[in-house]
Amino acid sequence: MYTENNDTLYIGGEAFDSRFILGSGEFSLDLIQAAIKRGGVQMVTLALRRANQVGLANILDYISKGITLLPNTSGSRNAEEAIRIARLCRELGCGDFVKLEIIRDSRYLLPDNGATVTATAALSQEGFKVMPYMYPDLNTARDLADAGDVAIMPMGAPIGSNQGLLSKAFIQILVDEMDLPVIVDAGIGRPSQACEAMEMGCAEVMANTAIATAGDIPQMTEAFKGAIQAGRSAFLARSGRVKAHGGEASSPLTGFLGEGSEA
């Protein structure tokens, strides 16, 4: 299980105080700055198409200095396309971090775990800090670690679905068994679900659609921030035991009027 005694999160040798990654794929540019500020985020995803829009507003102009960019390879259908997109992002000045995303299934948008392992190995050899989006599977997670990734990003539910932690049991296995940060990516629809992921011991949560489709984006971003912090605090505090059957009084139900007590 991945923890740090001082609760600073380390990914790829970089230190982060925030455990909230903001996905920017569905945001209008004028709301990105507000969301970053209200969410206290230190890492923001970035799609190549938004970083290289000739003649249009550039998303990089809306992301303040000091924020770590996490360009993703969305749109890639195989390892070769993902590697090419990652290289282009680095040439554009986005740094060495990359969210590796390879999807050849257009209906359910499920990640291709095999191609993701192949691309992770190649990009790690080139000095990239690879954070792969993957279907939560322990064998794949171990292969990704062997390939050199710096974190694993299992899906909670299909991308953009807001269905929450449909794969909770499998994510818990990764949290228990892997010695890398486990970051829930995709499917988180409500702050309460982000809190639950953090209570499980996940290192971080990424949210995009749930915030971008909210009626008040800055306020929803702040709600996610609070939920993630609460979940992390609960995990560190170690939740109390669960009693399978019956109840147990938290205060004495008898004996509080001892013998000889006056009415």
Long-range contacts of 205-208 (CB under 8 A, 24+ apart): 205/19, 205/20, 205/21, 206/20, 206/21, 206/22, 206/23, 206/45, 206/153, 207/20, 207/21, 207/22, 207/23, 208/22, 208/23, 208/24, 208/25, 208/26, 208/27, 208/45, 208/160
Closest CA to 32 of 70, 72, 64: 64
List, in order, residues 6 or more apart from 252 with CB less than 8 Å away.
none
Contact of 104 with 78, CB cutoff 8 Å: yes
In the set 65, 99, 168, 243, the catalytic residue is: 99
**Residue 215: Cβ-neighbour burial (10 angstroms; 0-12, 13-18, 19+):** exposed
Angle, vertex CA 205, rays to CA 199 and CA 210, nearest 5: 110
List, in order, residues 6 or more apart from 10 with CB less than 8 Å away.
4, 16, 181
Angle, vertex CA 56, rays to CA 52 and CA 62, nearest 5: 75
Q: Is 37 a catalytic residue?
A: no
Which are the catalytic amino acids?
Answer: 99
